[in-house]
Amino acid sequence: MTTPLARRIAHTLILTLAMCGASAAHAQQAIRIGELNSYKTQPAFLGPYRMGMELAVEQVNAAGGINGRPLALIIRDDNSNPGDAVRTAEELVTREKVDLLTGTFLSNIGLAVADFARHRKVFFLASEPLTDKIVWEQGNRYTFRLRTSTYMQVAMLIPEAVKLNRKRWAIVYPNYEYGQSAVATFKTLLKEAQPDVEFVAEQATPLGRIDAGNVVQALADAKPDALFNVLFASDLAKFVRAAKQRHFLDGLPAVSLLSGEPEYLDPLGRETPEGWVVTGYPWYAIDTPEHKAFLDAYQARYNDYPRLGTVIGYSTIVSLAEGLRKAGSTDPEALIEAFRGLEVVTPFGPITYRPQDHQSTMGAYLGRLAVQDGKGVMTDIRYVDGATVQPDDAQVQAWRPADAR
């Protein structure tokens, strides 16, 4: 026969075991990362990007996760449409119960999701969109950005453009936020450095639907003596092919955003425009401990070489993991405080998320295009630290809304 004391002891033991079980279950509850991107329309960049994210998640979870909690990626496609992106973000937050948001590729999509994050008070790490507005004119306290912005990459190219000592510039770019932002910055910074410069021709093309022959002819008719290119992906390949057929690029120096990234350089092959000064990712020529560790792990996992998208996807997850560890929580306000000044080691080396505008100091590689063994490569490479190509703090404060600080 059980005594009242024995029954009380047994009851207390059952409650204690239940509480311990609940604590263990909570400790193992995954941190859900909602990721949305333009996978269907930008597979060259975002296929490798996803592989980079997955590698980083595997590494974090193999090391015990974040305070015992594994990371889980909940991935959705945004259909390259701002409206669809916002609806997808809402679904991730309300139906999938994600703890935070990340991703986006196209700049207009990134801006739409950043505005959603502001209204819904959800933490958002924009991994890839390049527009300056996402951290400056339309910046908000809930949004941080990893990738080197258009301003930063253009600022890297300006000294090279000035060295060319050319007066008559032609410009070609995709006609949406990224291209418009890059061109506006290029014109401003080049005019400041070389006041007598002229912009004699400008072609803004619909993304993914360039009429390459007519674009090249319009540029050629203006007789420029230098070119600034902002095209990428299939638009870049079509433009280069049409330009070479018409001998437009013969003897014409150029500076170009993104053209050294394997995603866009590899398809050019023998048609690679030699001599262009570009930003990119020469994975085969980077000899740093951080990059070697990343490269070895990626090749062991996938038996392939990384693209720039791989580095961005990997660094996105590494950044989130470090921010979550520092915050000790998934609360948006705790994450904001953790990310301000957060230091992260990426395949490109250490970066910091700047408190003044939520922009990381990730840099980019600069070099010249060449053809070797029938393939496009970057030569004469050097890494430019993103911290060295930013406007001063007073200018950032003037651009960024007061309620974003």
Question: Would you say residue 211 lies in a domain?
Answer: yes
Of 23, 95, 55, 27, nearest to 316 by C-alpha is 55
- Residue bearing tokens 């301000």: 340
Question: Would you say residue 296 lies in a domain?
Answer: yes
Alpha-carbon span 32 to 320, nearest angstrom = 11
Of 369, 375, 173, 172, nearest to 276 by C-alpha is 369
Domain boundaries, position 346: 28-149+287-362
Q: Are residues 55 and 84 in the same domain?
A: yes
Q: Would the pLDDT of 7 be above 70?
A: no
Q: Would the pLDDT of 172 be above 50?
A: yes
Q: Are residues 125 and 199 in the same domain?
A: no
Work out the average pLDDT over 112-116.
98
Q: Are residues 155 and 176 in the same domain?
A: yes
Q: Would the pLDDT of 99 be above 70?
A: yes
Q: Are residues 159 and 274 in the same domain?
A: yes
Q: Are residues 183 and 198 in the same domain?
A: yes
Query: What is the pLDDT at residue 298?
Result: 98
Question: Would you say residue 380 lies in a domain?
Answer: yes
Alpha-carbon span 107 to 132, nearest angstrom = 9
Listed in sequence order, the DSSP H helices in 222-307 are 233-245, 262-265, 289-302
Of 343, 340, 344, nearest to 355 by C-alpha is 340
Say what percent of the chain tops pLDDT 70.
93
Work out the mean pLDDT of the chain and round it to a whole number: 93
Q: Are residues 227 and 348 in the same domain?
A: no
Query: What is the pLDDT at residue 15?
Result: 38
Phi, psi of 232 (to 5 degrees): -150, 175
Residue 235 confidence class, pLDDT cut points 50, 70, 90: very high
Tell me, what amino acid is at 139? Answer: G
Q: Is 320 left (phi over 0), alpha (psi -120 to 50) or beta?
A: alpha
Length of the chain: 405
3-state secondary structure of 148: coil
Work out the average pLDDT over 276-296.
98
Listed in sequence order, the DSSP H helices in 127-247 are 150-164, 177-193, 212-221, 233-245
Model confidence pLDDT, tens digit, residues 52-77: 999 999 999 999 999 999 999 999 99
Question: Would you say residue 403 lies in a domain?
Answer: no
Q: Tell me if 127 sits within 8 A of 313, measured CB to CB.
A: yes
Find residue 374's DSSP bridge partners.
none
Q: Are residues 163 and 301 in the same domain?
A: no
Alpha-carbon span 96 to 74, nearest angstrom = 8
Residue 13 confidence class, pLDDT cut points 50, 70, 90: very low
| Sign, CA torsion 292/294/299/304 | negative
pTM above threshold 0.85: yes
Residue 144 confidence class, pLDDT cut points 50, 70, 90: very high
Question: Would you say residue 12 lies in a domain?
Answer: no
Model confidence pLDDT, tens digit, residues 28-50: 799 999 999 999 999 999 999 99
Tell me, what amino acid is at 18? Answer: A
Q: Are residues 32 and 127 in the same domain?
A: yes
- As given in the structure block, the two tokens for residue 86 are 């916002």
Question: Would you say residue 10 lies in a domain?
Answer: no
Q: What CATH number corresponds to the domain at position 268? A: 3.40.50.2300
Question: Would you say residue 106 lies in a domain?
Answer: yes
Q: Count of domains in the chain?
A: 2
Q: Would the pLDDT of 20 be above 70?
A: no
Q: Are residues 265 and 167 in the same domain?
A: yes
Question: Would you say residue 404 lies in a domain?
Answer: no
- As given in the structure block, the two tokens for residue 337 are 């405080």
Q: Are residues 378 and 305 in the same domain?
A: no
3-state secondary structure of 204: strand
Query: What is the pLDDT at residue 19?
Result: 39
Q: Are residues 211 and 325 in the same domain?
A: no
- Nearby residues of 57 by Cβ (< 8 Å), 6 or more positions away: 71, 72, 73, 317
Q: Are residues 280 and 291 in the same domain?
A: no
